[in-house]
Amino acid sequence: MQLVACENLTLGYEGEKVVSDLSFTVHAGDYLCIVGENGSGKSTLMKTLLGLKTQMAGRIEIGGGLENSEIGYLPQQTVVQKDFPASVREVVRSGCLNRSGIRPFYSKAEKQMAEDNMELLGIRMLAKRCYRELSGGQQQRTLLARALCAARKILLLDEPAAGLDPKAAADMYDLIERLNHDGITMIMISHDMEASVKYASHILHIGNQSALFFGTKKDYLESGAGHIYAGLGGAQA
């Protein structure tokens, strides 16, 4: 089942083109890694997929009965969150807001969903703790649990392991792989080539102003682009 299809996308901001002619598709159950250098337009692409920005040209098709509000999102942490007084439970529950409409409180089912997702990610015992006092890995799990409350079909992850120590990063990648096995489609931005080629099923490599490669991981490793980067990352699958 095809969930997202992009055709000849051109992205940019304030009239300036960042990347053009992006075409790729995402099917249910895929694990797509978007790789590329800083400033190549990875985050812009993700924001466009989420509807936070509009594309300059091209088409994005959301299919398979997927509504825009059914996309979960794990953003990079913002400065505001660093000293925000909020309990883990409050943050996770806020993921349910997109289905509550104008109802001013959470329903029983929504509260239960928040508890279940905290359980799933192993942060239930942290529920009453303050978000800003957690370790980086625990904070990412909290945000991931919130994303799961918002959507159970597809998740967009913006550098989920940024700023984590190697152990916490590996745990995070394992967790994401587990969720992917449970049937959640993943689209992830990553700087970490090693992890990308280890976990992903598909790779989208954005180069200077255009897509260098899109296809399965296997094809990527045999392609020219894959050789350069996988070589640099030190990973040989």
Partner 1 sequence: MMIMLDKLSFYWQYPFVQYALIVGVLIALCSSLLGVTLVLKRFSFIGDGLSHVAFGAMAIATAVNLSNRFFLVLPATVLCAVLLLRAGQNTRIKGDAAIAMISVGALAIGYLIMNLFSKSSNLSGDVCATLFGSTSILTLSETEVWLCVVLSVLVIAVFLLFYHKIFAVTFDEDFSTATGVSAKTYNLILAIIIAVVIVLAMNLVGALLISALVIFPALSAMRIFKSFKAVSICSVIVSVACAVMGILISILAGTPVGSTIVAVDIVGFFSFGFVGVFMKGAKTL
Nearest to 72 by CA among 92, 55, 88, 102: 92
Q: Is residue 115 at the binding interface for partner 1, with CB under 8 A as the rule? A: no
Residue from 25, 106, 111, 136 in contact with partner 1 (CB under 8 A): 106
- Render the chain in DSSP notation, one character per residue: -EEEEEEEEEEEETTEEEEEEEEEEEETT-EEEEEE-TTSSHHHHHHHHTTSS--SEEEEEE-TT--GGGEEEEPPP-TGGGG---BHHHHHHGGGHHHHTT-SS--HHHHHHHHHHHHHTT-GGGTTSBGGGS-HHHHHHHHHHHHHHH-SSEEEEE-TTTT--HHHHHHHHHHHHHHHHTT-EEEEE-S-HHHHHHH-SEEEEE-SSBEEEEEEHHHHHHSHHHHHHHHHHT---
Q: Is residue 194 at the binding interface for partner 1, with CB under 8 A as the rule? A: no
CB atoms within 10 A of CB 50: 15
Q: Is residue 85 at the binding interface for partner 1, with CB under 8 A as the rule? A: yes
Among 3-11, 92-100, 185-193, 195-203, the segment contacting partner 1 (CB under 8 A): 92-100
Q: Is residue 224 at the binding interface for partner 1, with CB under 8 A as the rule? A: no
Residue from 128, 167, 224, 236 in contact with partner 1 (CB under 8 A): 128
CB of 172 to partner 1, least distance (A): 18
Among 66-74, 173-181, 200-208, 229-237, the segment contacting partner 1 (CB under 8 A): 66-74
Nearer to partner 1, 44 or 203 (CB): 44
Q: Is residue 134 at the binding interface for partner 1, with CB under 8 A as the rule? A: no
Q: CA–CA separation, 228 vs 237, rounded Å?
A: 14
Strand arrangement of the beta sheet that strand 16-27 belongs to: 16-27, 2-13, 57-62
Q: Kindly identify the residues of this chain, within the stretch 145-184, that bind partner 1 according to CB under 8 A.
A: 146-147, 150-151, 156
CB of 108 to partner 1, least distance (A): 15
Nearer to partner 1, 142 or 196 (CB): 142
Q: Is residue 130 at the binding interface for partner 1, with CB under 8 A as the rule? A: yes
Among 19-27, 44-52, 55-63, 208-216, the segment contacting partner 1 (CB under 8 A): 44-52
Q: Is residue 105 at the binding interface for partner 1, with CB under 8 A as the rule? A: yes
Nearer to partner 1, 147 or 206 (CB): 147
Q: Is residue 72 at the binding interface for partner 1, with CB under 8 A as the rule? A: yes
Q: Is residue 126 at the binding interface for partner 1, with CB under 8 A as the rule? A: no
CB of 131 to partner 1, least distance (A): 8
